[in-house]
Amino acid sequence: MAAAMPLGLSLLLLVLVGQGCCGRVEGPRDSLREELVITPLPSGDVAATFQFRTRWDSDLQREGVSHYRLFPKALGQLISKYSLRELHLSFTQGFWRTRYWGPPFLQAPSGAELWVWFQDTVTDVDKSWKELSNVLSGIFCASLNFIDSTNTVTPTASFKPLGLANDTDHYFLRYAVLPREVVCTENLTPWKKLLPCSSKAGLSVLLKADRLFHTSYHSQAVHIRPICRNAHCTSISWELRQTLSVVFDAFITGQGKKDWSLFRMFSRTLTEACPLASQSLVYVDITGYSQDNETLEVSPPPTSTYQDVILGTRKTYAVYDLFDTAMINNSRNLNIQLKWKRPPDNEALPVPFLHAQRYVSGYGLQKGELSTLLYNSHPYRAFPVLLLDAVPWYLRLYVHTLTITSKGKDNKPIGQTPQILHTDGLVESLFPIETSQAISTICIALNILILQAPTEQLSYIHYQPAQDRQQPHLLEMLIQLPANSVTKVSIQFERALLKWTEYTPDPNHGFYVSPSVLSALVPSMVAAKPVDWEESPLFNTLFPVSDGSSYFVRLYTEPLLVNLPTPDFSMPYNVICLTCTVVAVCYGSFYNLLTRTFHIEEPKSGGLAKRLANLIRRARGVPPL
């Protein structure tokens, strides 16, 4: 027995040492990067964009994974069970005002948006889509279970894969929007629990619910996609990107001043980096301002500065590295703040090259018109825009009334440029793909489109009519926007009369129509360099393009609120009340007559006082009482 103990201990030590050596050789299979971008907007507001990127070097479709370190197990099991290729989910409160705030890093529509690419091995996409929406509804405490066939579409051109993409069949794509969805803290809490450090350390300590929802714009999203593991793309990795964007009103938080600080916006400061993260950075946009011209003061001094072309404009950022020991002082408190030494000049707001707005017109409750205005503010460049509209079935579109007007000229959408209608790679030109060869082919297709298509003409159209109570309308168009112009897209519709059981509990509030989606390669004023996926900031790698002369933008218009013919739901209540009242009065009186018994009562003799009074009256000769 004494000789066996050392042998057992030696075997145990050998196993532990072997596991430790193997762990050091293999290294961690997942990594975490986090960053915060603070951007003073032209309107005076301040935008803060959080991005948390978890990369997992594992093929969930082929490998049996049972151990999860940084990647959330709930999402990993979703990828395996439902054979997901990509998943994009967002919850948004408010509307991003592109006209005043400029183009965003990643915009999302008001409410909830979900679009998913399934693997080509999925046999029943609709069933998987329904089950997936129900599961996500439980994970994020949202009403995604209301996603069904009446608000789900399958785009044929928009929403190309953002990760590794080959020749994709849009049959495996599903897209839905719930513009009525209300975003609250119950959606933020499960979103924060997906972070490796939760809200205990790193940049996530700033995610205080009462401050995040006291903003002009709040959007949180989850993006899952496969990416290349190395430069040769011999194997794939899974990327989970959690983004959160908020816009603070600087005049309210700063008491009438444009000065801002982390504590003033979030009511908290940074204390330490997330120990599980490999990179934790804070970027502050200081474009156009310098410390030497005594215009503003940024404190504390940044670790370094970063310059790059972002969304067509050359930007300069002050970079703060939370892993820098000199950045967080002994008090474990980093409060980045910006103070204006003198009031900034009141300059005209820069107009973005592409923005849009949407509205409904008409009178009465029978017919109306949907109108979308597309603004191309570029002084001399025209570019195509892919427009997607998903209209509910109870708005019956008159397709023959579809008109597109640019600079006072009307263009009929049917029968124009039929030779380009089915061009291979045409629609893909609006979406970036990781492989450089595919990007080159796409850019060539886009150039062919611009050269062949006449200016101010519609070059691609796809329309899928709605079916009552089954599927919505789907309209996709590729429109060439002339330089420095406003293009109006309008179509008339007729309101349907719903069954009384199909109305919402507050029917007089109206019915929401999901916003239009715009996808475009916008010309850039400054040439950009190719994007390095691992070395570039996270806010510059979601939509990478190889052609530095343009950048990809996806914008959303406002959701619409349309009134439908609504019956007077108070009439049944009034009829019931009136009927019950009449029945009660009539029946009560009739029942009273039938059940009451009448008796003749003899007059009662008076009491002692009355007798005495009668005796006195008789004695006086007066008739008795």
Is residue 516 within 8 Å of 392, Cβ to Cβ? no
Is residue 240 within 8 Å of 53, Cβ to Cβ? yes
Asked whether residue 451 carries a pLDDT value surpassing 50, the answer given is: no
Lowest mean pLDDT among 410-419, 439-448, 486-495, 598-607: 439-448
Beta-bridge mates of residue 561: 512
pLDDT at 23: 40
pLDDT at 465: 94
Residues 360, 284 share a domain: no
Is residue 453 within 8 Å of 459, Cβ to Cβ? yes
Asked whether residue 25 carries a pLDDT value surpassing 50, the answer given is: no
What's the burial of 506, exposed, middle or buried (CB within 10 Å: 0-12/13-18/19+)? exposed
Residues 90, 44 share a domain: yes
Q: For the chain, how many structural domains are there in total? A: 2
Residues 368, 411 share a domain: yes
Asked whether residue 190 carries a pLDDT value surpassing 50, the answer given is: yes
Q: How is residue 494 written in tokens?
A: 């007729």
Q: What percent of the chain has pLDDT over 90?
A: 40
> Ramachandran region of residue 429, left (φ > 0), alpha (ψ -120 to 50) or beta?
alpha
Measure Cα distances from 190 to 198, 223, 247, 305, 592 in Å: 10, 15, 22, 34, 65
Q: Is 97 part of a structural domain of the chain?
A: yes
Lowest mean pLDDT among 22-31, 35-44, 200-209, 538-547: 22-31
Q: Is 569 part of a structural domain of the chain?
A: no
Residues 398, 320 share a domain: no
For residue 398, give the amino acid letter: Y
Residues 305, 368 share a domain: no
Asked whether residue 620 carries a pLDDT value surpassing 60, the answer given is: yes
Residues 287, 236 share a domain: yes
The mean pLDDT of 254-277, rounded to a whole number, is 82
Beta-bridge mates of residue 303: none
Asked whether residue 594 carries a pLDDT value surpassing 80, the answer given is: yes
Question: How much is the CA Rg of the chain, to the nearest whole Å?
Answer: 34
Residues 373, 265 share a domain: no
Is residue 434 within 8 Å of 544, Cβ to Cβ? yes
Q: Is 176 part of a structural domain of the chain?
A: yes
Instruction: Say which residues have a Cβ less than 8 Å from residue 462's Cβ, sequence separation at least 6.
Output: 156, 157, 474, 475, 476, 477
pLDDT at 371: 95
Q: Give me the domain span that covers residue 424.
A: 354-500+507-562
Residue whose pair of structure tokens reads 């040769």 in the numeric block: 232
Residues 152, 62 share a domain: yes
Picking from 349, 258, 211, the residue whose alpha carbon sits closest to that of residue 40 is 258
Q: Is 131 part of a structural domain of the chain?
A: yes
Asked whether residue 233 carries a pLDDT value surpassing 50, the answer given is: yes
- Tell me which DSSP letter residue 139 carries: H
74-106 per-position pLDDT tens digit: 998 899 899 999 999 999 999 999 888 888 888
Q: What percent of the chain has pLDDT over 70?
A: 79
375-417 per-position pLDDT tens digit: 999 888 889 999 999 999 999 999 999 999 988 776 544 344 3
- Tell me which DSSP letter residue 318 carries: E
Split at pLDDT 50, 70, 90, the class of 223 is very high
Asked whether residue 554 carries a pLDDT value surpassing 80, the answer given is: yes
| Among 515, 538, 562, residue at a domain's last position | 562
Asked whether residue 328 carries a pLDDT value surpassing 90, the answer given is: no
Q: Is 526 part of a structural domain of the chain?
A: yes
Q: Is 592 part of a structural domain of the chain?
A: no
Residues 74, 185 share a domain: yes
Asked whether residue 479 carries a pLDDT value surpassing 70, the answer given is: yes
| Residue with the larger pLDDT of the pair 439 and 56 | 56
Asked whether residue 342 carries a pLDDT value surpassing 70, the answer given is: no
Residues 279, 216 share a domain: yes
Split at pLDDT 50, 70, 90, the class of 570 is confident
Q: Which of 202-211, 249-258, 441-450, 608-617 has the highest mean pLDDT?
A: 202-211
Nearest 5°: the CA angle 162, 165, 169 is: 105
Residue 276: strand, helix, or coil: coil
Average pLDDT, the chain: 81
pLDDT at 131: 95
Is residue 153 within 8 Å of 124, Cβ to Cβ? no
Q: Is 514 part of a structural domain of the chain?
A: yes
Lowest mean pLDDT among 134-143, 214-223, 281-290, 561-570: 281-290
Split at pLDDT 50, 70, 90, the class of 232 is confident
Residues 379, 292 share a domain: no
Q: Is 464 part of a structural domain of the chain?
A: yes
For residue 288, give the amino acid letter: G
**What is the full DSSP assignment across 545-579?**
-S-TTEEEEEEE---EEE------THHHHHHHHHH
Asked whether residue 449 carries a pLDDT value surpassing 60, the answer given is: no
pLDDT at 411: 54
506-535 per-position pLDDT tens digit: 888 999 999 999 999 888 877 666 666 677
| Among 340, 363, 393, residue at a domain's last position | 340
Q: Are strands 30-40 and 152-153 parallel, antiparallel or unpaired?
A: unpaired
Give the chain's count of helices (H) and strands (E).
Answer: 11, 26
The answer to whether the Cα torsion of 343, 348, 353, 359 is positive or negative is positive
Q: Give me the helices (H) in 27-124, please.
A: 73-82, 98-101
pLDDT at 117: 94
Domain of residue 374, CATH code: 2.60.40.740
Lowest mean pLDDT among 266-280, 294-308, 363-377, 418-432: 418-432
| Among 527, 542, 562, residue at a domain's last position | 562
Residue 337: strand, helix, or coil: strand
Asked whether residue 586 carries a pLDDT value surpassing 70, the answer given is: yes
Residues 167, 298 share a domain: yes
